[in-house]
Structure 1
Amino acid sequence: MTKDDVADALDEIGTLLELKGENTFRTNAYHNAARLVQQLPGDLAQMVADGKLAEVRGIGEALALKITTLVTTGNLPYLEDLRASIPVGLVKMLRLPGLGPKKVKALHDLLHIDSIEKLKAACESGEVAKQKGFGAKTQTRILEGIAYIDQVGHRVRIDLALPLGLALLEQIRAFPGVIRAELCGSLRRRKETVADLDILVSSADAQPIMDAFVKIPEVIQVLGQGPTKSSVVAGLHVHGTKVTLQADLRVVEDTQYPFALHYFTGSKEHNIRMRQRAIDRGLSLNEYALANETRSVPCKDETDIFAALDLPYIQPELREDTGEIEAGELKKLPALVVDSDIRGVFHNHTTYSDGTASLEEMALAAKQLGFEYFGVGDHSQSLTIARGLPSNVVRKQWAEIDRVNAKLEGVRILKGSEVDILEDGSLDYTDELLAGFEYVVASVHSHFGMPEAEMTARVCKALSHPAVTMLGHATGRLLLKREGYKINLDEVLKVAAKHGKMIEINAQPSRLDLDWKYVKQAKAMGIPIVINPDAHSTGELALYTFGVQVARRGWLTKDDVFNTRGLADVMKELARRKQSPTV
């Protein structure tokens, strides 16, 4: 077993013990051991063989014995017994927002609930609200969580699905006989979440490729294997998270490849429009050809397909039938922003709040990415859970920024803050302190349950404040975990446009907020967009690429994104906005 496999097993033990009501000291021992195992240098199997595991601080003899058993045998009877002692439904209930092991155990003890179905029935009958520690609001949130889980199903965030897809694709491309290969479906269109993986290959002989595909190390289970299509369940550890998805491989002849690539990329709505366009020209378009009874139109790639239907090439991210056909007809498709256009980022955290790296470490990491500027966005004072900065610490940080900037070359640290929008729409710092920042990201971090009208008024009031430069993660959503708070984004965008504010695409893959549809709307309203990684570590700075993908799906060009500007231009514009805050 790998380090990740062992860490997963230890984490699972900790969670199962929590569901059984074991004391916190014991459960945390397993969770902490899981983190330790993932961070161990060197080969875990060698450490086990050398008997050095028990020497690691935080791993005693009992844990070392369990880890040794996992590494040497691939399973652990203790874990198997734990799994057998706890209803499977209790573990599934942990997916619901706000339901931790303690509350799940309480529901089981009090109401004998051991499945999401029983939990839903108990909420609908009002029984959950009657229990101590729950109440009507908790009951409502549970029902909303169940509805959300039903809606998203078994989907995976793009940052987790893409590495798995690329790992499979890299191996498939190395198979003998493969001419061309590509990921298709929603992953190629860079949707925020995906339900499965679609992989397309061209080859003159499909069978050897099918035989090799089902033997790839990442394949957990073979669901079906045919002459030109095989389906498997594949898995991979990505940043400590075990990702499993169904992966479908299709093999076509190379002359069919462009048509199959277009078809399996989708979307369904885009394909319908393209098929109709072919019909209007006396042709039929499917996954194998563009043809009619008398002729076939040869196409070497997708560009030839679009050209045959009197269209320029349409980038995969735009293929949602949201105007790309009409824009193509008018030769007005945008030249989409790309990663290399980004010159710096604004919303990031350091050790001053809840980040893991210092100002200088973050700035140097930004420089390594080719950025000209690194913007600080540490939390403001009210967010104590994230070590928000009181005013005296802000001034201390400003002084350190000046010292570090004096010795840095090739990158500049900008003085910013992620300032909380308080319940009444005011900001979390005095106007005097706000005036000292070079820019301000305003964000909501509390009172998510406000009615829509009140939340909308709250955010709009903040956007009218002269010190605010940009709105951070506009809906507060966490993909596949919780919906955003109720807010009228149409009204928020109007107010942002009126007061000349920017809107952030928060590139954290758990957020990707603003959603691409509203990004497109913001573009139409002339609102500048900023792509920010919301980085809490040096490695997370690179997450900006997922924000670029959202921007591309929202039809943004380089000119639509504020942080494609160079440092001098950015400093000049930020200074101008401070002098004339409503622009």
Structure 2
Amino acid sequence: MSKDDVADALDEIGVLLELQGENAFRCNAYFNGARTVRSLSADLKQLVADKTLGQVRGLGAALAEKITTLVTTGDLPYLAELRGQVPAGLIEMRQLQGIGSKKVKALHDALGVDTLDKLKAACEAGEVAKLKGFGAKTQANILEALRFREEAGKRVRIDQATGLVAALVERVRALPGVVRAEACGSVRRRRETCGDLDILASSADAQPVIDAFAAFPEVVRVLGQGPTKASVLATSRVDGEKVTLQADLRVVTDDLFPFGLHYFTGSKAHNIRMRQRALDRGWQLSEYGLGTADAPIACKTEADIFAALDLEYVAPELREDTGEIEAAEAKALPRLLEPGDIRGVFHNHTTYSDGSASLEEMALAAKALGWEYFGVGDHSQSLAVARGMPPSVVRKQWAEIDAVNAKLSGVRILKGIESDILQDGSLDYDDEMLAGFDYVVGSVHTHFTLTEAEQTERVCRALAHPALTMLGHATGRLLLRREGYKIDLEEVLKTAARFGKMVEINANPYRLDLDWVHVKRAKALGVLLVINPDAHSPDQLALTRFGVDVARRGWLEAKDVFNTRSLAEVQAELARRKRA
């Protein structure tokens, strides 16, 4: 089982225990254990093999034993037993806004409610309101939560969330009396998906700001409104697709803005570590300030908060309690990659396969972004569904690239290919043709149902091929639409390191593959990363910024990313690899 599989199992145990009424300490042990496993930079399988898992902070003997069983057998009888004891519908009920495990358990115990449909029927019949600890208001809130779930109870991709929150924040900033306004939460930390939006603003008079926010044209429903906070259902179209999310606005006085910004950005785990650091100094840290009641510490910015706690400023993308506090204390945080560090990209498509623009149009779009080079990565011959190129078409494309390069100035087209990794791990052209490309991106597009061992062997064999330069979208996932194929990424990354291959961060928001956890692991293994937009049109080249987000969450610096190098450096390195 992968780290994510193990972490998911631990989270599920915590939830099932909550629904059985277990004490919070025991439940939180599993939730904290899941977070620890997800953030491990070391190889989980190796820790199990070395019997050193119990030495990891946050993993006690009991958790280590269960994790060992999961890793070595792929199963856990204890989890199977819990699943048999808790109706599956209770977990869905627990996901409703404002309904925790205690209420779910009470509803099940008193009314036998074990599905969302039964819960809705019980509310509509007035049965929930009669229960002790519920009442008419809670019953109405549950019905509202059920309606909300039907309308907007799903996560959206980061590009969709960014588009909606940017529109809302821009409107808030333009309101009279607003001093500062920022997006917070997971969208500020640049997580790959978001379930809601958090916005913080500062003003000396909150009520007019709240009233105006509730009347924004994007707002389709007001879920709650008070003197300093409003919760709404907001919607807009992002790239032609309708996006609907809950958006919460909080308004504070400007002296409290830095504290609120830090608190509402999160993550929860990061905030706990920061609060403990303040407590160790005899202070309190919350959204309301830092210090003591008698001696508050004024902070104009978030950076002042970190400085007061003897820490370097921690960028929002790093705030996951995965070592950032220790690095900030040691003044050893990375100089994170910036969008402006990118000087070109490699994996892109044109009308030669399934792209919508010509070579020249794509190259000019890259130049407009300030890039020095544009790398072609059209599909290879086996992927007929995407108009993969037979050898004759490849040679035609090479000739056109030479002609366009002779014509253009300020940008260089590089001859690449996105070669299918075939079922047996071979690449999609013979060695003679592969040698004609400047570089080769190897990707899996078919046979997703192979076993984990078969898929891993397939990809690792491709990584051993001398012609392969970089591995494309390593898991094949499509966020919120399709899980990736089963593959041992630890073994894949180790193989990439062993053969000196690059691994792609696919910046398309549908993919963002590798994820940030594996990006961080790749860096630890010495794997060189490359950020590619997988663009199929000129405007999609700008998607590269979402890959930069992933890189930053994975602690990458410019030196860790191949396409921060100049054209001359890239050409020299690609030529060296072909000679090796």
Report TM bin, short chain.
0.7 to 0.9
- Provide the secondary structure at the position in 1 that maps to 2:161: helix
Residue 393 of structure 1: aligned partner: 393
For residues 532 and 508 of structure 1, the distance between their equivalents in structure 2, rounded to whole angstroms, comes to 8
For residues 364 and 256 of structure 1, the distance between their equivalents in structure 2, rounded to whole angstroms, comes to 46
Residue 181 of structure 1: aligned partner: 181
Matched residue type, 1:395? R
For residues 162 and 464 of structure 2, the distance between their equivalents in structure 1, rounded to whole angstroms, comes to 39
Matched residue type, 1:253? T
Matched residue type, 1:472? G
- Provide the secondary structure at the position in 1 that maps to 2:518: helix
Q: Deviations over 1:42-84 (max 9, x none)?
A: xxxxxxxxxxxxxxxxxxxxxxxxxxxxxxxxxxxxxxxxxxx
For residues 403 and 208 of structure 1, the distance between their equivalents in structure 2, rounded to whole angstroms, comes to 61
CA positional deviation for 1:422: 0.4
Residue 429 of structure 2: aligned partner: 429
Alignment of 1:156-235 (within 5 A): 156-235=156-235
2:466 aligned with 1:453 = no
Q: Deviations over 1:383-442 (max 9, x none)?
A: 000000001110111011111111110001000000000001111110110000000000
For residues 258 and 372 of structure 2, the distance between their equivalents in structure 1, rounded to whole angstroms, comes to 40
Matched residue type, 1:207? Q
CA positional deviation for 1:293: 3.9
For residues 459 and 117 of structure 1, the distance between their equivalents in structure 2, rounded to whole angstroms, comes to 44
- Provide the secondary structure at the position in 1 that maps to 2:199: strand
- Provide the secondary structure at the position in 2 that maps to 1:353: coil
Residue 552 of structure 2: aligned partner: 552
Matched residue type, 2:578? K
- Provide the secondary structure at the position in 2 that maps to 1:242: strand
Alignment of 1:144-163 (within 5 A): 154-163=154-163
Q: Deviations over 1:467-521 (max 9, x none)?
A: 0000000000000011110000000000000000000000000000000000011
Matched residue type, 1:311? L
For residues 293 and 427 of structure 1, the distance between their equivalents in structure 2, rounded to whole angstroms, comes to 67
Which runs of no fewer than 5 residues in structure 2 stay unpaired?
Answer: 1-114, 119-148
Residue 324 of structure 1: aligned partner: 324
Matched residue type, 2:498? K
- Provide the secondary structure at the position in 1 that maps to 2:299: coil
CA positional deviation for 1:291: 1.9
- Provide the secondary structure at the position in 2 that maps to 1:482: coil
- Provide the secondary structure at the position in 2 that maps to 1:256: helix
Residue 351 of structure 1: aligned partner: 351
For residues 116 and 379 of structure 2, the distance between their equivalents in structure 1, rounded to whole angstroms, comes to 36
2:512 aligned with 1:509 = no
Residue 60 of structure 1: aligned partner: none
Matched residue type, 1:232? V
- Provide the secondary structure at the position in 2 that maps to 1:255: helix
- Provide the secondary structure at the position in 1 that maps to 2:355: coil
Matched residue type, 1:346? F
Matched residue type, 1:271? N
Residue 34 of structure 2: aligned partner: none
For residues 256 and 539 of structure 1, the distance between their equivalents in structure 2, rounded to whole angstroms, comes to 39
2:575 aligned with 1:564 = no
TM-score by structure 2 length?
A: 0.74
Alignment of 1:266-305 (within 5 A): 266-305=266-305
Q: Deviations over 1:330-369 (max 9, x none)?
A: 1110011111100000000000000000001100111001
CA positional deviation for 1:202: 0.8
- Provide the secondary structure at the position in 1 that maps to 2:254: coil
CA positional deviation for 1:117: 9.1
Residue 18 of structure 1: aligned partner: none
Residue 488 of structure 1: aligned partner: 488
For residues 389 and 478 of structure 1, the distance between their equivalents in structure 2, rounded to whole angstroms, comes to 24
Residue 365 of structure 2: aligned partner: 365
For residues 243 and 353 of structure 2, the distance between their equivalents in structure 1, rounded to whole angstroms, comes to 30
What is the Cα-based RMSD across aligned positions, in Å?
A: 1.6
Q: Deviations over 1:78-115 (max 9, x none)?
A: xxxxxxxxxxxxxxxxxxxxxxxxxxxxxxxxxxxxx9
- Provide the secondary structure at the position in 2 that maps to 1:473: coil
- Provide the secondary structure at the position in 2 that maps to 1:337: coil
- Provide the secondary structure at the position in 2 that maps to 1:231: strand
CA positional deviation for 1:322: 0.4
For residues 568 and 531 of structure 2, the distance between their equivalents in structure 1, rounded to whole angstroms, comes to 18
CA positional deviation for 1:536: 0.2
Runs of 4+ with >4 A deviation: 115-118
CA positional deviation for 1:294: 2.8
CA positional deviation for 1:267: 0.2
CA positional deviation for 1:283: 0.4
Matched residue type, 1:279? L
- Provide the secondary structure at the position in 2 that maps to 1:535: coil
Q: Deviations over 1:524-577 (max 9, x none)?
A: 111111000000001101110000000000000011110000100000000000
Q: Return closer, same or farther for 1:299/1:116 CA change in 2, 3 Å cut-off.
A: closer
For residues 443 and 214 of structure 1, the distance between their equivalents in structure 2, rounded to whole angstroms, comes to 47
For residues 435 and 316 of structure 2, the distance between their equivalents in structure 1, rounded to whole angstroms, comes to 43
Residue 473 of structure 2: aligned partner: 473
Q: Return closer, same or farther for 1:570/1:116 CA change in 2, 3 Å cut-off.
A: farther
Residue 146 of structure 1: aligned partner: none
CA positional deviation for 1:153: 5.9
For residues 422 and 461 of structure 2, the distance between their equivalents in structure 1, rounded to whole angstroms, comes to 10
Matched residue type, 1:210? I
Residue 254 of structure 2: aligned partner: 254
CA positional deviation for 1:311: 0.1
- Provide the secondary structure at the position in 1 that maps to 2:303: helix
For residues 239 and 176 of structure 1, the distance between their equivalents in structure 2, rounded to whole angstroms, comes to 30
Matched residue type, 1:413? I
For residues 116 and 354 of structure 2, the distance between their equivalents in structure 1, rounded to whole angstroms, comes to 34
- Provide the secondary structure at the position in 2 that maps to 1:474: coil
Residue 141 of structure 2: aligned partner: none
Which runs of no fewer than 5 residues in structure 1 stay unpaired?
Answer: 1-114, 119-148
For residues 371 and 232 of structure 1, the distance between their equivalents in structure 2, rounded to whole angstroms, comes to 40
Matched residue type, 1:209? V
For residues 469 and 116 of structure 1, the distance between their equivalents in structure 2, rounded to whole angstroms, comes to 50
Matched residue type, 1:368? A
- Provide the secondary structure at the position in 2 that maps to 1:179: strand
For residues 481 and 220 of structure 2, the distance between their equivalents in structure 1, rounded to whole angstroms, comes to 26
For residues 488 and 320 of structure 1, the distance between their equivalents in structure 2, rounded to whole angstroms, comes to 24
CA positional deviation for 1:214: 0.7
- Provide the secondary structure at the position in 1 that maps to 2:357: coil
Residue 240 of structure 1: aligned partner: 240
Residue 24 of structure 2: aligned partner: none
CA positional deviation for 1:116: 11
Matched residue type, 1:470? M
CA positional deviation for 1:292: 1.8
Alignment of 1:523-538 (within 5 A): 523-538=523-538
- Provide the secondary structure at the position in 1 that maps to 2:404: helix
